[in-house]
């Protein structure tokens, strides 16, 4: 399973979540930010893949 943790600047929340889940078996994690100028921004391609994924409707809000 691939998991992408996203927060605004990719400085605290998403990198922390990435570290917490990094050693879970069968889970590949990474983190990214939404704001301009963040260290690891979410790419448009990643957003398309996220939106196209089979995600339960209640998580698409």
7-58 per-position pLDDT tens digit:
889 899 999 999 999 999 999 999 988 887 888 888 888 777 777 776 767 7
24 secondary structure, DSSP code: S
Instruction: Quote the pLDDT of residue 24.
Output: 93
Instruction: Quote the pLDDT of residue 59.
Output: 65
- Distances from the Cα of 49 to the Cα of 11, 31, 36, 39, 54, angstroms: 23, 15, 20, 21, 10
**Which residue is listed with tokens 């995600």?**
55
């Amino acid at each position: 399973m691939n998991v992408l943790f996203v927060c605004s600047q990719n400085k605290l929340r998403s990198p922390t979540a990435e570290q917490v889940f990094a050693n879970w078996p069968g889970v590949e994690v990474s983190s990214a930010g939404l704001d301009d100028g963040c260290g690891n921004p979410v790419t448009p391609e990643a957003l398309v893949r996220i939106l196209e994924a089979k995600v339960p409707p209640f998580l698409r809000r």
